[in-house]
């Protein structure tokens, strides 16, 4: 299925449910597959590294915190990367990025451009959200 989607041979999917899953679960799965294949965007997208010895914070907890703060921003791509060595390069085409810069320090990115460096980890999620809010407001003022 993934190969068909990526090669452009698929516009939609039909999932057959034998009644053991809720409709909400089936819908979430279907929309998740469509978004992963870039066919239809219905939620915020997160791109995160798997973590390694270089990861500078608790990746799992941080992903959960960033998701809780930004899950209403449908269509945005947010990168959450463990370190500054490879993180910015691996964020692919994320709109905004949250990257470990040192122990307890985070740098924020807009695309590939660093917009705020070495923020204390405790403040970083709120600062990211504030930056995105202001940035989107600027865009809507221009548009
Ligand atoms: S971005 Fe950094 S922390 Fe994450 S997997 Fe790559 S090297 Fe490791």
Scan for tokens 């202001």, then name that residue: 134
- Multiple choice CATH, 45-142, 3.90.780.10, 3.40.50.10490, 3.40.50.2300, 3.30.413.10: 3.30.413.10
Q: Is any atom of ligand 1 closer than 6 Å to the C-beta of 91? A: no
Q: Is any atom of ligand 1 closer than 6 Å to the C-beta of 63? A: no
Q: Is the pLDDT of residue 139 over 90?
A: no
| CA–CA distance, 87 with 48 (Å, rounded to integer) | 9
Q: Which residue, by CA, sits nearest to atom 2 of ligand 1?
A: 83
Query: Using 50, 70 and 90 to split pLDDT, how confident is the model at 143?
Result: low
Q: Is any atom of ligand 1 closer than 6 Å to the C-beta of 35? A: no
Q: Is any atom of ligand 1 closer than 6 Å to the C-beta of 50? A: yes
pLDDT digits (tens, 9 = 90+) for 12-37: 899 999 989 999 999 999 999 999 88
Picking from 118, 68, 96, the residue whose alpha carbon sits closest to that of residue 81 is 96
| CA–CA distance, 10 with 129 (Å, rounded to integer) | 35
Q: Is any atom of ligand 1 closer than 6 Å to the C-beta of 81? A: yes
Q: Which residue, by CA, sits nearest to atom 7 of ligand 1?
A: 86
- The domain locations on the chain are 2-36, 45-142
pLDDT at 45: 93
pLDDT digits (tens, 9 = 90+) for 3-12: 899 898 988 8
Q: Which distant-in-sequence residues (6+ apart) come within 8 Å of 135 by Cβ?
A: 96, 110
Q: Is the pLDDT of residue 92 over 80?
A: no
Q: Is the pLDDT of residue 41 over 80?
A: yes
| CA–CA distance, 39 with 10 (Å, rounded to integer) | 8
């Amino acid at each position: 299925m993934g190969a068909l989607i990526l090669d452009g041979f698929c516009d939609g999917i039909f999932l057959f449910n034998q009644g053991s899953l809720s409709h909400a679960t089936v819908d979430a799965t279907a929309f998740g597959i469509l978004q992963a294949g870039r066919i239809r965007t219905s939620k915020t997208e997160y791109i995160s590294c798997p973590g390694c010895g270089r990861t500078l914070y608790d990746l799992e907890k941080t992903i959960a915190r960033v998701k809780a703060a930004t899950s209403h921003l449908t269509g945005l791509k947010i990168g959450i990367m463990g370190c500054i060595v490879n993180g910015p390069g691996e964020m692919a085409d994320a709109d905004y990025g949250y990257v470990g810069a040192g122990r307890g320090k985070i740098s924020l990115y807009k695309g590939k451009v660093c917009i705020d460096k070495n923020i204390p980890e405790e403040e970083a999620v709120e600062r990211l959200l504030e930056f995105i809010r202001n940035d989107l407001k600027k865009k809507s003022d221009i548009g």
